[in-house]
């Protein structure tokens, strides 16, 4: 028996979204019929399991530093994403690609704002919509980013980090 903690279900805001938490990390897992505004329209969706989220997080932790070598939009006071991975809340959407591989499309939003962050104009949106629909955030540098995680090949791809306004 493992002593490792696992994600626990802490809330079910809708029939298609489940909030999960492990340590400092909170995420929302969307079922295949959950809204993913302007994304995955042409994809066959699936509902990720907690075990698949655990696997996706391990792949992310193992490979993020390598895919993030250029540190796009992670300058000045913007976080370096692979160094601050536990400081983001997540949204998880599952789909199956053309090869039949399971992909976890994940969005990240900063969840550990400090007084200095707030003085620079960065603050958390306190509304709870992120638990029921895909977040849409423009700009904000590496406080907001997304990536796709291939569970079959254990690879990361399409890292996208918001721009700096």
Express each pLDDT in 79-137 by its tens digit: 999 999 999 999 999 999 999 999 999 999 998 766 676 676 666 666 788 999 888 88
* pLDDT for 122: 62
Average pLDDT over residues 39-51: 90
Q: What is the Cα 140 distance to its own chain's centre? A: 15
d(CA 144, CA 109): 5
* pLDDT for 34: 82
Handedness of CA 61, 137, 116, 73 (dihedral sign): positive
Alpha-carbon distance values, 27 to 30, 44, 70, 73 (Å):
10, 22, 26, 23
Given a cut of 60, whether residue 3 has pLDDT beyond it is: no
Q: 40 φ, ψ to 5°?
A: 60, 25
Q: Which two tokens stand for residue 3?
A: 């002593």
pTM: 0.89
For residue 94, which of 43, 160, 155 has the smallest C-alpha distance?
43
């Amino acid at each position: 028996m493992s002593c490792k903690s696992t994600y626990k279900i802490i809330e079910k805001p809708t029939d298609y979204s489940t909030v999960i938490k492990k340590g400092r990390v909170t995420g929302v897992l969307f079922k295949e019929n959950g809204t993913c505004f302007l994304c995955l329209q042409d994809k066959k969706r699936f509902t990720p399991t907690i075990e698949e989220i655990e696997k996706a997080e391990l792949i992310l932790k193992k490979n993020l530093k390598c895919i993030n070598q250029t540190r796009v939009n992670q300058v000045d006071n913007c976080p370096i994403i692979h160094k601050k991975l536990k400081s983001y809340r997540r949204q998880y959407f599952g789909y199956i690609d053309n090869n039949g591989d399971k992909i976890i499309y994940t969005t990240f939003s900063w969840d550990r704002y400090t007084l200095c962050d707030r003085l620079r104009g960065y603050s958390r949106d306190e509304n709870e919509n992120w638990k029921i629909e895909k977040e849409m955030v423009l700009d904000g540098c590496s406080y907001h980013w997304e990536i796709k995680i291939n569970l079959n090949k254990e690879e990361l791809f399409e890292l996208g980090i918001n721009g700096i306004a």
